[in-house]
Amino acid sequence: MSYDYDLFVIGAGSGGIAAARRAAEYGTKVGVAEVSNLGGTCVNRGCIPKKLMVYASHFPALYEDAQGYGWSAVESSLDWQKMITTVNQEVERLNGVYQRMLDKAGVDLIQGYAKFLDPHTLEIGERKVTADKVLIAVGGHPVKPEEIPGIEHAIVSDDMFHLKEQPKQIVIIGGGYIGVEFACIMQGLGSQVTQLIRNDLILRGFDDDLRSGVQEGMKQHGIRIINLTEPPVIEKTPQGLKVTIKGDSEETVVADAVSLAATGRKPSLEKLGLENADVEISEGAIATDEYSRTSQENIFAVGDCTDRINLTPVAINEGRAFADTQFGGKSRTMSYENVPSAVFSTPEAASVGLTEAQAREILGDAVKIYRARFRPMYHTLTGREDKTIVKLVVDQKTDKVLGAHMVGDYAAEIIQGIAIAVKMGATKKDFDATIGIHPSTAEEFVTMR
């Protein structure tokens, strides 16, 4: 049977574009449907604009720290509108870059929602296209917890990049990495931040030393973190959003016009017509095998819509592995072991491999922990009490390093390098045999005894 396309990709985010470009390199005729801007969550509502705001949030502390090194005091104020405008201008520039990449690869871009009519036919607006293979790469979106009264008055993380004015007081609901990052961003930019979490510690799923280290640092920087005993209640008042909080005691906080719900994301599967293609959904996500194939032989899915590891580099690697396997004659799968990740909080945190708890669950007492907690040299003159934590999780029987975790400046940059060693199966002896770069924080990973 003849089709309009060899491959049609639904969604022009990180995974979809990576797959489309790689497939096109193999001479495949590729089409892509996208209803919004190119680049998906990462470019438009996530990694990129958020990291730019992280950078912006660090300047006040740098101005203050400079005084410890002999610089005179700096009086400076934030022009919120200018910051938001320049951040979004960079997002627009990147959209143009993605468009040029698709054009150069010879990939057809069709604007609009794509809906399955059958396993090989898609409807995009009034247009119908057919494809031999279809890749779903529609990503996910933030969700608001329905159990919180008044949650309709709160915004989600997507909205943070378009606020016309900086909130003086903000309440953030949720202790995951998105809530933590925005709490630190807003505090650094000068807002008063109250963060509401359901557990004793933020960042569930990360190593406990990392979780406690980041939480302690956030509190030192002035962020109020409250452990909830009941869901908060949000009311809209003339003064702003009144948030009633029940923790160790009951109190109310009035946030000026904004309360951020950062309690999670879910796959964006609405309007796809998956039932018309008999694509199986499991626990709200598209079910796939190790080759990203769905329950339908010719339909595949990558990225956040599969809810495996929701990280941009993972989606990109999944997309390329799919294209290599299906169109390049290079069968390969994505490995989900030892995937590094970072939280761009203040202090920053990063991790690769097993947490201490995960390792002990598998190996019990065979796990040995190497840990260092110290005040970094940078702060010997600033007067700050910020602490850095570095940690290795090791299997005593094999001497293999199972996990590496860090809290402190440049944690992401350092763990990215450490991740190569962990991925290659390095042992603690390999770390010990490596000469450190002195004086640096990174050298602690090769000097711990």
| Helix pair angle (356-363, 208-220), 10° resolution | 160
Structure tokens at 347: 């202090």
- Residue 1 pLDDT > 90: no
Q: What is the pLDDT of residue 257?
A: 65
Question: In this structure, what DSSP letter does residue 290 have?
Answer: T
Q: Give the Å distances, CA to CA, from 326 to 19, 104, 257, 434, 442.
A: 10, 21, 50, 41, 41
Tell me the average pLDDT across 232-244: 94
Long-range contacts: 57-66, Cβ < 8 Å, 24+? 57/184, 57/185, 57/186, 57/187, 57/188, 57/189, 57/346, 58/188, 58/346, 60/188, 60/189, 60/190, 61/188, 61/346, 64/382, 65/378, 65/379, 65/382, 65/384
438 given a catalytic annotation: yes
Return the percentage of the chain with pLDDT > 90, whole number.
97
Tell me the average pLDDT across 184-193: 97
What's the CA gap between 254 and 241, in Å, rounded? Answer: 5
**Residue 84 pLDDT class (50, 70, 90 cuts):** very high
Q: What is the pLDDT of residue 122?
A: 98
The answer to whether 156 and 144 have CB atoms below 8 angstroms apart is yes
Count other C-beta atoms under 10 Å from residue 382's C-beta: 17
Q: What is the mean pLDDT of the chain?
A: 96
| Domains present along the chain, CATH in parentheses | 5-142+266-327 (3.50.50.60), 151-263 (3.50.50.60), 347-446 (3.30.390.30)
Which ranges of 221-256 would DSSP assign to H, the alpha helix? none
- Residue 259 pLDDT > 90: no
Q: What angle do CA 109, 113, 115 make, to 5 degrees?
A: 110
**Residue 263 pLDDT class (50, 70, 90 cuts):** confident
* Contacting residues for 169 by C-beta, under 8 A, at least 6 apart: 191, 192, 194, 240, 253, 254, 255, 256
- pLDDT tens for residues 277-290? 999 999 999 999 99
127-136 and 5-10 strand pairing: parallel
Tell me the average pLDDT across 46-70: 98
SS3 category, 63: helix
**Residue 249 pLDDT class (50, 70, 90 cuts):** confident
What's the CA gap between 154 and 13, in Å, rounded? Answer: 26
Q: Nearest-CA neighbor of 203 among 415, 345, 20, 385?
A: 345
Tell me the average pLDDT across 368-388: 97
Structure tokens at 318: 């999944």
The answer to whether 408 and 389 have CB atoms below 8 angstroms apart is yes
Tell me the average pLDDT across 366-385: 97
